[in-house]
């Protein structure tokens, strides 16, 4: 087994990326409690915990990987911090998991499916001073809060009310189409999931306000990643060095790819989705009269 294969195997075994069972989470908790992995991380410079909220298949992986390339930001890839919070991991344990996940993801080339989001010459998997620490798990974070809204205040308490959310949004029809192709859901089920997540995200935005939630539209970000990253860095109170912005922008290939055009849409479902988008100000631009 090559080194990169070992890293990917460990990434899946030690830091569950998808659907970890309760037994796997419990075993990880026991290992951390019995044998802490080295000294606690240096978080004296930490000012913000950054979590993603949103929808599956909406461009979170790209944004999270680019933020992790910043020298003062560590963004884990698909850790699912709320799952560990539910399993009674304390803040220090979750911090270690976030940092270790990001380190291993960086060594593995920040690969997600057929895509690599590696930014050459930058800081993925490493850090200078950790000013922002977070988790790129947008759709699942919103889903878990939607299932039990008390998880939002619990998350804020655990992380000392230093939480900010990045809300990545993509055209609803493209998101629903891709979710249908990549899961066992049919179009109607994927549409229902999307609108449920939109309802949850509207709740989070209302509860926390614009100082703690930033809307990032995928199409706009992909068209001008340097401007998009600058906006996110400003929101997270970190400086965006021009060399960092250029290196990140260089890996983004903007394609006007529209997944929605690959499927046949029942008109009744189209009307339901269009009506749903009008309910949320952050989706208005995608409404037919938006």
pLDDT digits (tens, 9 = 90+) for 45-101: 999 999 999 998 888 899 999 999 999 999 998 888 998 898 888 999 899 889 988
Residue 117: pLDDT above 50? yes
- Give residue-wise pLDDT tens across range 141-178: 999 999 999 999 999 999 999 999 999 999 999 999 98
* pLDDT classification of 18: cutoffs 50, 70, 90: very low
Residue 27: pLDDT above 90? no
* pLDDT classification of 22: cutoffs 50, 70, 90: low
Are the CB atoms for 243 and 181 separated by under 8 Å? no
pTM of the model: 0.88
| Sheet arrangement for strand 73-77 | 73-77, 132-136, 48-53, 163-169, 213-217
Does 95 or 261 have the greater pLDDT score? Answer: 95
Are the CB atoms for 64 and 77 separated by under 8 Å? yes
How far is residue 51's CA from residue 103's CA, in Å, rounded to a whole number? 17
- Average pLDDT of the residues in 11-34: 57
If you search the block for the tokens 């019995």, which residue do you land on?
Answer: 34
How far is residue 82's CA from residue 105's CA, in Å, rounded to a whole number? 19
Residue 256: pLDDT above 80? no
Does 20 or 114 have the greater pLDDT score? Answer: 114
How far is residue 214's CA from residue 227's CA, in Å, rounded to a whole number? 14
Domain segments of the chain as ranges: 3-168+217-254
Residue 6: pLDDT above 80? no
Cα distances (angstroms) measured from residue 84 to each of 158, 209, 211, 231: 11, 26, 26, 30
């Amino acid at each position: 087994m090559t080194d990169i294969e070992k890293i990917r195997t460990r990434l899946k075994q030690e830091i569950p990326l998808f659907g970890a069972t309760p037994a796997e989470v419990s075993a990880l908790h026991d290992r951390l409690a019995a044998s802490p992995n080295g000294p606690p991380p240096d978080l004296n410079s930490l000012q913000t915990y950054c979590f993603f909220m949103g929808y599956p298949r909406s461009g979170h992986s790209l944004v999270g990987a680019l933020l992790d390339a910043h020298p003062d930001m560590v963004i884990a890839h698909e850790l699912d911090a709320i799952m560990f919070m539910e399993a009674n991991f304390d803040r220090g344990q979750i911090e270690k998991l976030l940092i270790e996940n990001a380190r291993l993801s960086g060594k593995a080339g920040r690969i997600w499916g057929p895509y690599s989001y590696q930014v050459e010459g930058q800081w993925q998997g490493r850090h200078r001073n950790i000013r922002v620490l977070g988790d790129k798990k947008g759709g699942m974070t919103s889903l878990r809060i939607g299932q039990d809204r008390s998880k939002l205040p619990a998350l804020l308490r655990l992380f000392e009310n230093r939480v900010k959310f990045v809300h990545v949004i993509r055209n609803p029809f493209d998101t629903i189409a891709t979710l249908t192709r990549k899961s066992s859901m049919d179009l109607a089920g994927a549409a229902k999931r999307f609108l449920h997540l939109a309802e949850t995200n509207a709740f989070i935005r209302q509860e926390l306000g614009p100082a703690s939630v930033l809307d990032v539209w995928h199409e706009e970000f992909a068209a001008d990643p340097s401007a998009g990253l600058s906006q996110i860095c400003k929101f997270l109170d970190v400086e965006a060095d021009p060399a960092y912005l250029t290196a990140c922008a260089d890996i983004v290939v903007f394609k006007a790819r529209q997944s929605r055009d690959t499927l046949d849409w029942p008109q009744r479902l189209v009307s339901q989705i269009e009506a749903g988008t009008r309910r949320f100000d952050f989706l208005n631009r995608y409404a037919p009269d938006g």
